[in-house]
């Protein structure tokens, strides 16, 4: 099960936080074709990051690592935009934490 938490954004009302989290998760699931594939993509990204100092996949990285990083980072950026689409200026200082539980 995909669990996302919104870190920061104390100015969002509880129902706005819930809506943002729902849009965020839905966007990730749509990008990867389902919740299970989100977990696979995140795992590939984490493995790629582990191969490089500072956990950042450089542009000259192994093509497989770079592809995993590009795919995950693009989907994550799009999911953040989707989460805050009704309030595009309220995402300042906000972050998402993602966890998968059985």
Residue range 34-55: mean pLDDT, rounded: 96
Average pLDDT value over all residues in the chain: 93
What per-residue confidence (pLDDT) applies to 12?
87
Task: Determine the pLDDT at residue 65.
Answer: 97
- Return the half-sphere exposure (C-beta side, CA atoms, 13 A cut-off) of residue 20: 25
Token pair 């729902």: residue = 22
The rounded distance, in Å, linking the Cα atoms of 41 and 22 is: 19
pTM of the predicted model over 0.85: yes
Residues 43-72: b if buried by 16+ CB within 10 A, e if exposed: ebbeebbeeeeeeebeeebeeebeebbebb
Share of the chain above pLDDT 90, in %: 82
Find out whether 72 and 42 touch, Cβ atoms under 8 Å.
Answer: yes
Chain center to CA of 37: 13
**pLDDT by residue (tens digit) across 48-58?**
999 999 999 99
Assess whether pLDDT exceeds 70 at residue 90.
no
């Amino acid at each position: 099960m995909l669990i996302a938490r919104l870190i920061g954004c104390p100015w969002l009302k509880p129902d706005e936080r819930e809506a943002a989290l729902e849009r965020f998760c839905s966007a990730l699931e749509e990008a990867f074709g389902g919740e299970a594939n989100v977990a696979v993509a995140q795992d590939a990204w984490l493995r790629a990051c582990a191969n490089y100092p500072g956990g950042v996949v450089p542009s000259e990285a192994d093509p497989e690592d770079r592809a995993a990083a590009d795919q995950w980072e693009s989907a994550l950026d799009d999911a953040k935009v989707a989460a805050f689409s009704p309030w595009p200026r309220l995402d300042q200082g906000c972050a998402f934490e993602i966890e998968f539980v059985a």
